[in-house]
Each structure stands twice: as C-alpha cells, then as structure tokens.
Amino acid sequence: MAVATREKLVIPRLDFEEIVVEIKGVAPGIIADSPLSAVIVGAGGIKPVNEKDPMRQAERARYKLETPRNGTTDGFPSAGIKAAMIAACGYGEGFVKTKTKGAFFMGATEDGLLPILDAEFQPRVDLVGNAAKSKSPKGRAFYPAPWRMMVPLRVFTTKAFSTQSAVHLLALAGECVGIGCWRPVGGMGIGGWFGRFDLVAIHTPEEAANV
C-alpha cells in the first residue's frame, strides 16, 4: 500500500517595516471624557462617573502616563491615530478600508498611549447644547498648538500597500480628518478645525529614541 508523502511546510516570510513619524499640531487638540477615568470600581462593580463640575471634567479628560524620559505626562490613544488614518482612506485613491485596517499597526505604551510633547494641559470650559436644550458648561482637556507626537508605525509591506502608503494616509488624516474633539470629520454640524496636524519628519525607531 502506497504511503502518501506530505509536502514540506515552510513558514512564510512576511515583510514588515518599522518607522516613527513625527507630527506637529497645526491646530489645538481637545479631548473630552477619557474612558480611562470615566468609571469607578467599588463594591457594587464598575459604575460611570457623573461629574458635574467642568474643571473636574477637564481633569478627567486627561490620559496620563509615565515615561522614562519625561516622567508623568499626558498622552493620546494610539487607536485614535489609527482610526483617523482609516477614515482618511476616503480621501485618497486606491485605499480600501477593510484591507487597510490590517496592513499597519501602531506602537504605543502599555496603556496604548502616545505622549503629547511640547504642550501643557489646560482646562477648557465651553457651553454645550442645542436649540432644544439649555446650554451647560462642559470641561475638556486642551492642548495648544504646536503640540507634537511621535507616531510609531509597523507596516506590512506588499505590492498593494507600502510604508509610503501608510505615511500618505497619516498625512491625509492630519489634513482632512484630525484627532480629538471638534475635528474636521466630527459628527456634529459641518465639522471643526481642531486636532489637525502636519508630518515634520520620519525616523527609524533608533533615531526616534534620541529625538
């Protein structure tokens, strides 16, 4: 009886490239209601925090992290940068959102945050509401421009998607989408102008560690 021979299996080599893109805010950044501080854990389980004081709301909107170089600083979720890049697919040619999602990955701290550099936290209070409701004060975290961030990208390079493709998407995200509240593609009205950014430099991970 003949015995079938199994084809030798080979672990495929996947091509990745890692870069760090330095971005600079051309408009202030605004963050509201950090989910990391929007709940309290007690004997009754996890409960939402219903904070009415606008200054405390602004404080709770901060994402705080510890960094070896800067100590305690404020950060921004790397997932927010990736979401902006995916949204930017609609502004470029040849990008397909469903395929682009898995084509690159974001580096970040263990909390998934990227440090906000060159900008100090400021509490901001605005009156929010609509014509049908009375307006009430709302506190948010405000970071004046030109804030700066280092955005680590790990790109799965193929014929259809390259490292340059990822850089192009990040540039579109900065110009057309933005991050945080009241950005150009915000859900309210015609959108805002906050959270926009430019790309200023591309580094290797080793170079970025010394910038």
Rg for the chain, CA atoms, rounded:
21
pLDDT over 70, % of the chain: 84
Note the pLDDT of residue 28.
96
pLDDT tens digit sequence for 72-107: 889 999 999 999 999 999 998 889 898 899 999 998
The mean pLDDT of 32-56, rounded to a whole number, is 60
**pLDDT reading at 137 higher than 70:** yes
Q: What is the pLDDT of residue 132?
A: 63
25 contacts: CB under 8 Å, gap ≥ 6:
119, 143, 145, 146, 147, 148, 195, 196, 197
Instruction: State the DSSP string of 78-129.
Output: HHHHHHHHHHGGGGSSS--HHHHTTTEEE---TTSEEE-BS---EEEEEEE-
Name the amino acid, one letter, at 53: D
For residue 123, pLDDT over 60 is answered with: yes
Q: Which helix (H) or strand (E) holds 63?
A: strand 63-67
User: Is residue 202 within a helix (H) or strand (E), and if so which, with residue range?
Assistant: strand 197-203
Rounded CA separation 1/147 (Å): 73
pLDDT the model gives residue 187: 65
Orientation of helix 78-87 relative to helix 163-172, angle to 10°: 90
Determine the pLDDT at residue 39.
45
Decide if pLDDT at 70 tops 80. Answer: no
pLDDT of residue 209 exceeding 60: yes
In contact, 118 and 147? CB cutoff 8 Å? yes
Q: What is the mean pLDDT of the chain?
A: 86
What is the pLDDT, as a whole number, of residue 49?
Answer: 55
